[in-house]
Chain A
Amino acid sequence: AQSVTQLDSHVSVSEGTPVLLRCNYSSSYSPSLFWYVQHPNKGLQLLLKYTSAATLVKGINGFEAEFKKSETSFHLTKPSAHMSDAAEYFCVVSDTGYQKVTFGTGTKLQVIP
């Protein structure tokens, strides 16, 4: 069975400071992991994905995530927050590659000017 826990429902950072959005997963197999972003009144956009290649995954808009099997974590980071990063972020896990996925509860990122 697969599950994902996003440890923070809300994160607030100042513009220009680092972003850390935390995600822990549970999976019976070698999981595929994804981060999606949802801007207000917009659809979901894929930020990045991990599918058993390099453990450090680089995505769009300067985001990256590191797969740590020993910690069952897949935290999302960005060195410097921009106002346009304010959105809701979803961590997603799949045991079966990409078809049957499970969404986390989401983390709302607020960026303070």
Chain B
Amino acid sequence: SAVISQKPSRDICQRGTSLTIQCQVDSQVTMMFWYRQQPGQSLTLIATANQGSEATYESGFVIDKFPISRPNLTFSTLTVSNMSPEDSSIYLCSVEVPVQETQYFGPGTRLLVL
């Protein structure tokens, strides 16, 4: 498996501000994923981040709102820009472990926007 950490674990932010969430994994991985889990909902994929290329966004998510960086094979960041209360969610990163054909998830970042 992979050990994944996220920072911050939770935050309370004011509307109109931006928050950058960090995801660190303990081994080199090719693909990392960012998900959103809105209150009481399931997980929705925001984007896929491959090292060395632009992130690929899912329908309904745009780079201006959720810019992603992937500077190396163990790290990625997701920024939630110009936040509104509707952005209050849990944001999770995951990594793929090809040998195990499985995604492993970080503990999540709980964001509340006031």
The A/B interface has a contact count, at CB < 8 Å, of 45
Main secondary structure of the interface of B (DSSP, over half): strand
B42 interfacial by beta-carbon distance below 8 Å: yes
Contact with A along B80-108 (1 / 0, CB 8 A): 00000000000010101000011111111
User: Does the CB pair A90–B42 fall under 8 Å?
Assistant: yes
Contact A43 B43 (CB under 8 A): no
Contact B92 A49 (CB under 8 A): no
Give the chain B neighbours of A104 by CB distance below 8 A. 42
Chain B residues near A45: list those with CB within 8 A.
105
Other CB < 8 Å A-B pairs besides A44-B43, A98-B96, 12 of them?
A34-B103, A43-B108, A46-B1, A49-B101, A51-B101, A90-B42, A90-B43, A98-B101, A101-B45, A103-B42, A103-B44, A105-B42
